[in-house]
C-alpha cells in the first residue's frame, strides 16, 4: 500500500456502531504513510471519541462547522481543498440522505459540497434500513448526480442481531481500496518528460536572474503521472523539494541546460509537459569574475532564451505537448494564443496574479484548453489538479 504515502485522506465518520472500527482504519492508513484528517458528525462521537482518533491520526479531529478555534487552525474550505481523497466510513442512512439532497448542515456535508476531491462512501446500517426504498433511491440519485464510489456494504451478522447486507467493509479492505485509488494506470507504457521550477541565468559567478517558481506544480504532476503508470523524467530547476517516488530527476540551472537535457530525453518521450517558469531572457555576457560595485548605475544586456516547449513541438515527430500559460489578465485568450503559436496539443492556463495560487503556493486554479474544449477547475491542491491534467491527457491519447 505504498501508494498511500503522503496522500491526504479526509476520513468522515458518521453515527453508527461500525464507527468503532475506524480506529483500526486510521491506524492502517497512517502506518502506510497517509496523512489523515478525521471529521466526525455528532452521531459518530457517541460511538468513538475524537481523542482516540486524534491520537491515532496525529491530527486534531474536526467536528464543528462553526468552531472559531478549529477554523483558525484549518478552516473548512481549506480542509476541503486539502484532501486528495474523501472517504466516509461508516456512512449512515441519514448522512447519505443529506449528501444526496445537497445539504450543508454540518461540517462533513459542507466539506463534501466544497471539495472536488474524489469521494467514496462505505455504507453501514441495519439490513432493513439498507433495503428501504428511500435509501436505495438516495444511492441511485447520488450516483446519477456525481462521480461517487460506494464501497460495500458487506453481508452477515449485524450488531443488532439481524443478518443481511449492511455491515461496513472491514478496515483492511477499505485501506486496500483507498490505496487502489492511487494506482490507476491510465498512462501505463508511456514516458513523460516534465520540466519544473525556475531557471537561473548567470550574471557573474555569484549573481543570477530568476523567478519565484517553487517547482511544486511540476513535481505534483510528476507524482500524478508516476501514479498513473507512466515512466517519468523530471527536469528540475534549482528547487528544494524531494523527488517523488520512482521519478527520474535531472537538475539543471539555466534555460539552455534545460533545453539540452530535454532534447536528450526526447527520443524516448511520448508526452512533454512544460511546467517550468523558464527565464525568457539571459544576460548576453556572463562575467568570469564577480562584478565590482564601483559604479552608481550599470546595465545588463539581455538576449532571448531558446523556447524549450516550442522547440520540442517543432520536432519532426513531436511528443504530445502540454504547455502552461502563466497569465495575469485575459487568461483564456492569451493561453489560446500560446496553444496556437507554440503548436501545442494542450495548454494549462493559470492566473498568477493572486498570492494564493500559481507561483510558490500549494494550491492552484487552472483552465485546461485544447483544440476542442476548455475545462475549468477551481482552487485545489496542485496534486489534485495534476490528477485532473493527467486524466485529460490520457483521454486525449486514448
Ligand atoms: O513552480 P510553482 O511555484 O509550483 O508555480 C507553478 C507555475 C506558476 C510556475 C506553473 O503553473 C506555470 O504556469 N508554469 C509556466 C510559467 C511560464 O513560464 O509561463 P509562460 O506563459 O511564460 O510560458 C508558456 C509555456 O512556455 C510554459 O509551458 C513554459 O514552460 C514554456 N516556456 C517558456 C519560455 C521558454 N523560454 N521556454 C519554454 O518552454
- Asked whether residue 172 falls in the same domain as residue 206, the answer is no
Our answer on whether the CB atom of 308 is closer than 6 Å to any ligand 1 atom is yes
Among residues 129, 153, 180, the one where a domain terminates is 180
Dihedral through CA 25, CA 27, CA 29, CA 30, nearest 10? 160
- Asked whether residue 161 falls in the same domain as residue 207, the answer is no
Among residues 180, 211, 233, the one where a domain terminates is 180
Q: How far is the CA of 335 from the centre of ligand 1 (A)?
A: 11
Rounded CA gap, 152 and 169, in Å? 6
Our answer on whether the CB atom of 215 is closer than 6 Å to any ligand 1 atom is yes
Q: How far is the CA of 230 from the centre of ligand 1 (A)?
A: 22
Q: CA neighbours within 13 Å on the CB side: how many for 289?
A: 2
Q: Specify the ligand 1 atom closest to the Cα of 338.
A: 24
Question: CATH number, domain at 161?
Answer: 3.40.50.1950
Task: Residue 34: give the domain boundaries.
Answer: 2-180
Residue 207: count of CB within 10 angstroms of its CB? 15
Residue 185 lies in a domain: no
Q: How far is the CA of 178 from the centre of ligand 1 (A)?
A: 33
Q: Specify the ligand 1 atom closest to the Cα of 219.
A: 4
Q: Which residues are catalytic?
A: 160
Residue 224 lies in a domain: yes
- Asked whether residue 200 falls in the same domain as residue 54, the answer is no
Rounded CA gap, 397 and 370, in Å? 12
- Asked whether residue 254 falls in the same domain as residue 122, the answer is no
Per-residue confidence in pLDDT tens, the chain, 398 aa: 657 877 899 999 999 999 999 999 999 999 998 999 999 999 999 999 999 999 999 999 999 887 777 777 678 888 999 998 999 999 999 999 999 999 999 999 999 999 999 999 999 999 999 999 999 999 999 999 988 999 999 999 888 888 899 999 999 999 999 998 886 678 878 999 999 999 999 999 999 999 999 999 999 999 999 988 899 999 999 999 999 988 999 999 999 999 999 999 999 999 999 999 999 999 999 999 999 988 899 999 999 999 999 999 999 999 999 999 999 899 999 999 999 999 999 999 998 888 889 999 999 999 999 999 999 999 999 999 999 999 999 999 98
Count of domains observed in the chain: 2
Our answer on whether the CB atom of 270 is closer than 6 Å to any ligand 1 atom is no
Instruction: Identify the CA nearest to 103 among candidates 113, 93, 92.
Output: 113
As given in the structure block, the three cell numbers for residue 160 are 443488532
Tell the residue number behind the cell numbers 469521494, with chain if given. Answer: 119
- Asked whether residue 153 falls in the same domain as residue 27, the answer is yes
Amino acid at each position: 500500500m505504498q501508494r498511500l504515502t503522503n496522500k491526504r485522506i479526509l476520513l468522515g465518520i458518521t453515527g453508527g456502531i461500525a464507527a468503532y472500527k475506524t480506529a483500526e482504519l486510521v491506524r492502517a492508513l497512517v502506518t502506510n504513510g497517509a496523512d489523515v484528517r478525521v471529521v466526525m458528525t455528532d452521531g459518530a462521537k457517541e460511538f468513538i471519541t475524537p481523542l482516540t482518533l486524534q491520537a491515532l491520526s496525529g491530527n486534531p479531529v474536526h467536528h464543528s462547522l462553526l468552531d472559531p478555534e478549529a477554523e483558525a487552525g484549518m478552516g473548512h474550505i481549506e480542509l476541503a481543498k486539502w484532501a486528495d481523497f474523501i472517504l466516509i466510513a461508516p456512512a449512515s442512512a441519514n448522512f447519505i440522505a443529506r449528501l444526496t439532497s445537497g445539504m450543508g448542515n454540518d461540517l462533513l456535508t459542507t466539506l463534501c459540497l466544497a471539495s472536488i476531491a474524489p469521494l467514496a462512501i462505505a455504507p453501514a446500517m441495519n439490513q432493513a434500513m439498507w433495503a428501504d426504498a428511500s435509501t436505495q433511491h438516495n444511492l441511485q440519485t447520488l450516483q446519477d448526480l456525481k462521480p461517487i464510489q460506494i464501497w460495500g456494504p458487506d453481508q452477515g451478522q449485524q450488531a443488532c442481531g439481524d443478518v443481511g447486507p449492511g455491515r461496513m467493509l472491514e478496515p483492511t479492505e477499505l485501506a486496500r481500496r483507498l490505496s487502489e485509488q492511487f494506482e490507476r494506470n491510465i498512462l501505463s507504457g508511456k514516458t513523460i518528460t516534465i520540466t519544473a521550477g525556475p531557471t537561473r541565468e548567470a550574471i557573474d559567478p555569484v549573481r543570477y536572474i530568476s523567478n519565484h517558481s517553487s517547482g511544486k506544480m511540476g513535481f505534483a504532476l510528476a507524482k500524478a503521472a508516476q501514479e498513473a503508470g507512466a515512466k517519468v523524467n523530471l527536469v528540475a530547476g534549482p528547487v528544494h523539494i524531494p523527488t517523488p517516488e520512482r521519478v527520474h530527476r535531472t537538475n539543471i540551472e539555466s534555460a539552455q541546460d534545460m533545453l539540452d537535457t530535454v532534447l536528450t530525453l526526447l527520443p524516448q518521450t511520448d508526452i512533454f509537459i512544460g511546467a517550468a517558469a523558464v527565464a525568457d531572457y539571459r544576460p548576453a555576457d556572463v562575467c568570469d569574475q564577480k562584478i565590482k560595485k564601483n559604479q552608481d548605475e550599470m546595465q545588463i544586456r539581455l538576449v532571448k532564451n531558446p523556447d524549450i516547449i516550442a522547440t520540442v513541438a517543432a520536432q519532426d515527430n513531436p511528443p504530445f505537448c502540454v504547455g502552461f500559460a502563466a497569465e495575469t489578465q485575459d487568461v483564456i485568450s492569451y493561453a489560446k494564443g500560446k496553444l496556437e503559436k507554440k503548436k501545442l496539443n494542450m495548454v494549462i492556463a493559470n492566473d498568477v496574479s493572486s498570492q494564493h495560487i500559481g507561483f510558490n503556493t500549494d494550491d492552484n486554479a487552472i483552465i485546461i484548453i485544447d483544440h476542442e474544449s476548455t475545462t475549468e477547475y477551481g482552487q485545489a491542491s496542485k496534486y489534485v489538479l495534476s490528477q485532473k491534467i493527467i486524466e485529460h491527457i490520457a483521454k486525449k491519447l486514448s
